[in-house]
Amino acid sequence: MAISKQHDEVINYGKIVSVRGSVIDARFENSLPAVYTLLQAGENLEIAIEVLSQLDDHTIRGIALTPTQGLARGMQIETNGKQLMVPVGKRTLGRMFDVFGNTIDHLKPLAQGEKRNIHQAPPPLDKRSTHSEIFETGIKAIDVLIPLERGGKAGLFGGAGVGKTVLLTEMIHNMVGQNKGVSMFCGIGERCREGNELYEAMKDAGLLENMIMMFGQMNEPPGARFRVGHAALTMAEYFRDDEHKDVLLLIDNIFRFIQAGMEVSGLMGQMPSRLGYQPTLETELSALEERIANTDTGAITSIQAVYVPADDLTDPAAVHAFSHLSATIVLSREKAGEGLYPSIDFLQSNSKMTTPGILGDRHYKLAQQIRQTLAQYEDLKDIISMLGMEQLSVGDRLVVNRARRLERFFTQPFFATEKFSGVKGEVVSLKDALDGCERILSDEFKDLPENAFYMIGKIEEALKKKEVKQEGADAAKPAV
């Protein structure tokens, strides 16, 4: 248990005193490691442990970031006093990493270069930008009604199978394809199948060169899943602060981060809070979220998928995530069942950017008018289901027709689903999306069938659909 000097590093040795699953207690006689210090154990030092608390003057308690098979009481444990570090810089572009910064894409080894600590302080307030800008995604429904903030945090809320990952994948395609910034994908507690599919999709689309991927998979210990978000943020911060670039950070799924924290908290013996969540939930989430910011040198814009347990938006995980977000996109199982993709519930979704000062008067008034039309349609649905459209007044029928056309106009063919649907994906500019909505609200297309607006890009495509159908109908008429 002496301290020795090796390769210009001071190595501190200790002994393991207990192993309980992923929780390791170790005793150090001379110098007690600080919280967050990385410890190594095992025959080849292959087991990594992060210090989470100091029990007394000589004992620490840590959580393993790797499986602990083979560890036993009395075994030696060592540390060089450093925390977990990951590689940063341009050499990381186009690669896939685990929480330790090791490449997992089976390509050539990563070039030597700078590494940084995953535990960083958020940017101070005087370095943050106070100017609000819109971040265009090329997705009509989001750009018109739930505009995202450059350097802000947007949440994708939804249960299992409503399209969170597909929407995230589409945003990566649109952002990396149009912008010259960097895209960072962080998979927390996701299935390895999803990671592999995303990697192959980005490779096929030629988007990997400006993208970094990091995964803490579902089968990994809770400690690794709990730290993968911090590791990804460290890589993203390099491009914002040193390269002065804009970074799009996609996190799938922030609930799995909270869930990993809950597992770690339970393993550490902390008293659970409401619904079994950890008592430190807000602190842990804030430590991650506050690092995502818009500074005077660049911005990290984050879009985070948030799994909502049992579709209950009052769940503590969803409530705490809400408090950090500048925009909330709620995905609806009912809309997904109707085939309206992206299946966004417009009346539950909102953005703090929807003000006349940021959007401009025309966009703001249009957005309010659309919301009002959709809300009126929602109120009329019960009457329609009981009595039918015939019992509505002429004015109400017009509202229903506008709302149903708007709902279908807000569907959009995605690049991410091309191989499943056979329909070519489209990116729609904000100007084209606003023009289409304005023309629908002015009843310019009231004679067009509703399905002409389904899965189109610009509004002109609805007219083309009608022409094609008309030609088909004419061709099918028997010759006289």
Q: Which of 149, 190, 237, 263 is catalytic?
A: 190
C-alpha to C-alpha distance for 86 and 154, rounded to whole angstroms:
26
- 227 included as an active-site residue: no
Cα-based distances in Å from 12 to 27, 38, 93? 11, 11, 35
> How far is the first Cα of the chain from the last one, in angstroms, to the nearest whole number?
101
Q: Which of 164, 240, 335, 458 is catalytic?
A: 164
- 115 included as an active-site residue: no
C-alpha to C-alpha distance for 49 and 35, rounded to whole angstroms:
11
C-alpha to C-alpha distance for 188 and 222, rounded to whole angstroms:
10
153 and 374 Cβ atoms separated by less than 8 Å:
no
- Tokens representing 152 are 């802000």
> What does the chain come to in residues?
480
Tell me the torsion sign for CA atoms 438, 441, 442, 444. positive
- 191 included as an active-site residue: yes
Strand duo 59-64 + 76-79: pairing? unpaired
Cα-based distances in Å from 468 to 165, 410, 473? 33, 21, 9
Q: Which of 191, 397, 404, 466 is catalytic?
A: 191
Place of tokens 């040198």: 297
Positions marked catalytic: 164, 190-191
